[in-house]
A and B are shown apart, each in its own frame.
Chain A
Amino acid sequence: MVTYIIRRLIGAFAMLIVISMVTFGIFFVVPQWAGATPEALASRYVGRAATPETVALVAERLGFNDPVVVQYGRFVKGLFAGAEYDYGAGVEQCPAPCFGYSFISGQPVWPDLVDRMPVTFSLAIGAAILWVVAGVSVGVLSALRRGSIFDRISMGTALAGVSLPIFFTGMISLVVFSYGLGWTPPGGAWTDFTVNPAQWAYNLLLPWITLAFLFAATYARLTRAGMLETMGEDYIRTARAKGLRENQVVTKHGLRAALTPILTLFGIDFGLLIGGAILTETTYTLPGLGQFAILAIRNQDLPQVMGVVLVAAGFVVVASLVVDLLYAVVDPRVRLS
């Protein structure tokens, strides 16, 4: 078990290195293949009025003339040990983990990312709890009452949930509940949990429900299919033959076995989501990682884009690692060796 975890950690780490290489390549090597000179890269770091000499000097100081491998090495070193940037107007310290400086604000990227993480985490965790609880329970009930009115209505709703994009349901919900009924605050409201938990939850309620609706639909359908399969298994008949109460037969024996594929999907979904719920954050103008990514791309702010991509990739890798470990807990037939 311990060796397995260590091996998986090493694997996850290697995966992150590969991702960093690919990201670095896309943002720093591909432009050069496309004909961008070191000066063109450097010109992003200096003011509009800079003379060609200044640009060339900055390019040299930032190391854009060095071989790609050296540049990548410096980038990785910055991630772990921090880096020093010399723009010509004095040396600036960029503490580890250093993702570089924003072209636009001139601020280090990492603190900005850290600032935005609580927003995305709050959104993702709250929505995840909602959608797992709602999706799984609706799925179980649908499976148990297959063909009933409840089953048909919930599966119809689930189909709608899967098909409707968040910028549609999000907009509609804002129009109805915020601007129409005034029950929830309009977009853009964010209060940190540590400041006021009640306000935090109140502000996030609508985004949570909208996001959860989208995912709950998938989970309900998956749970229903899984339950229909497991409830027909021989061991369910055995559980009933033992005289077990039907509700325990369903939860302890049926649902337990149907959870494995749900767990898989959850790992992927949740990992992706904490890397930035781009559409939801944009719809509700929440200052999270997703909105950060959109702004960075719009501004062509390369260090910011790289930073957010690496952080998001890191979350996906970690989430899938956790899910793999949980497999062994859920299904003892999975051997971690």
Chain B
Amino acid sequence: MSFLDVKDLKIHFPTDDGLVKSVDGLSFSLERGKTLGIVGESGSGKSVTSLGVLGLHKGGRARLSGEIWLDGEELIGASAEHVRRLRGKKMAMIFQDPLSSMHPFYTVGHQIIEAYRIHNNVSKQVARKHAVDMLGRVGIPEPERRVDAYPHEFSGGMRQRAMIAMALSCDPELLIADEPTTALDVTVQAQILDLMRDLQREFNSALIIITHDLGVVAELSDDILVMYGGKCVEYGTTDDIFYRPEHPYTWGLLGSMPRLDREPTERLMPIKGSPPSLINVPSGCAFHPRCPYAEKTGGKDRTEVPALTETEGGHLVRCHLDRAERRDLWENEIKPALETP
């Protein structure tokens, strides 16, 4: 069994308009020291999944089913108190917007000290030393002084560093980063990604990066999971996803990436339409209304939900098109278009 094993995870929210199936039968696993990238548009269920793993839906309106095994312990059936004790210590999270995710009325140091003292029975002085140490390790200059600064006194990049310091303060074995660089300047993004990679090596933790930006996961991930409408549509190694992608949605994501090596006059190739409603999920393949190749399935796209099937070497695809056709489309149509110099 892997360090983290998620099996058939379903997270549904009952609302007045109907049942929102934010996550619908998601499975993946992750080992210590490895990085998984979860990619998808807004509303594809990425963040809901991460909050589900951390047990942050407990006590809310969400309905969870399936299994989440962390280091041999099942979390969905565990008591809220038990999961709380694991949170922050065994598994921690880095959030998207570090300004709104840190309490504006407490100093950065106070918030790191608090995180550390929840799980470690130490004096304030010891915790403070640890906070200064953590701030130094994430590359904040003059940590002895900055430990007493408030979040609003930090720059965006420094805030995200402080957020990472807080998440790492108890040496978590699983770290989930939800859009860790989305709110940051491009120049700072690269620094933060480098920092996360270095720290992951140092701590040998399992890392999940959630993002809509394929560029971010290309840098860091070992494996990539592409989500659409609450389901996994493609899963494979980073090489699989970038060099041998087989799902039309993944092709769309690759085509939507701005690239510097292309002519500025060239248009991006965005995915047409908008993400599906999670209440009235399109029948059959949830991607069929936006899929340029839907007619090639002979009507199956509307009637049958495609199964997630393995093509080779752990590369999973959820698509009605047959393998040869997908390979043909990628090699002769999509790849040349993406590679136009």
Point out residues on A near B: beta carbons under 8 Å: 233-235, 237-246, 253, 256-257, 330-333
Pick from B89, B92, B104, B119: contact of A333, CB below 8 A.
Answer: B104
In the assembled complex, 21 residue pairs joining A and B whose CB atoms fall closer than 8 Å, in A order, are A234-B95, A234-B97, A235-B100, A238-B95, A240-B87, A241-B54, A241-B88, A242-B87, A243-B85, A243-B86, A243-B87, A243-B89, A244-B88, A244-B118, A257-B103, A257-B104, A257-B105, A332-B104, A332-B105, A332-B107, A333-B150
A234 to B51, CA, bound (A): 13
Contacts of A257 in B (CB 8 A): 103-105
Inter-chain contact A235/B102, CB cutoff 8 Å: yes
Q: Which of B82-98 contact A (CB under 8 A)?
A: 84-89, 92-93, 95, 97
Inter-chain contact A330/B105, CB cutoff 8 Å: yes
The number of residue pairs between A and B whose CB atoms lie closer than 8 Å in the complex comes to: 69
State the Cβ distance, A258 to closest chain B Cβ, in Å: 11
Contacts of A333 in B (CB 8 A): 104-105, 150, 152
Tell me whether A243 and B118 are in contact in the complex, defined as CB-CB below 8 angstroms, given that A237-B95, A238-B95 are known contacts.
yes
Contacts of A240 in B (CB 8 A): 56, 87
Query: Which B-chain residue is minimally distant from A236 (CB atoms)?
Result: B103
State the interface size on chain B (CB cutoff 8 A).
28
Pick from A235, A243, A246: contact of B103, CB below 8 A.
Answer: A235
- Encoded as 1 (CB less than 8 Å from any A CB) or 0, chain B from 56 to 68 comes to 1001000000000
A239 to B85, CA, bound (A): 13
A81 to B280, CA, bound (A): 81
Say yes or no for B101: interface residue by CB 8 A criterion: yes
List 17 extra interface pairs beyond A235-B102, A243-B86, CB under 8 A: A233-B100, A234-B101, A235-B104, A238-B93, A238-B102, A241-B56, A241-B87, A242-B87, A243-B85, A243-B88, A243-B119, A244-B114, A256-B103, A332-B105, A333-B104, A333-B150, A333-B152
A235 to B98, CA, bound (A): 9
Inter-chain contact B105/A242, CB cutoff 8 Å: no
Q: Which of B265-291 contact A (CB under 8 A)?
A: none
Say yes or no for B166: interface residue by CB 8 A criterion: yes
Say yes or no for B206: interface residue by CB 8 A criterion: no
A95 to B313, CA, bound (A): 98
State the Cβ distance, B331 to closest chain A Cβ, in Å: 44
State the Cβ distance, A157 to closest chain B Cβ, in Å: 27
The 8 closest A-B pairs by CB, nearest first: A243-B88, A243-B87, A234-B100, A242-B88, A242-B115, A235-B103, A234-B101, A241-B93
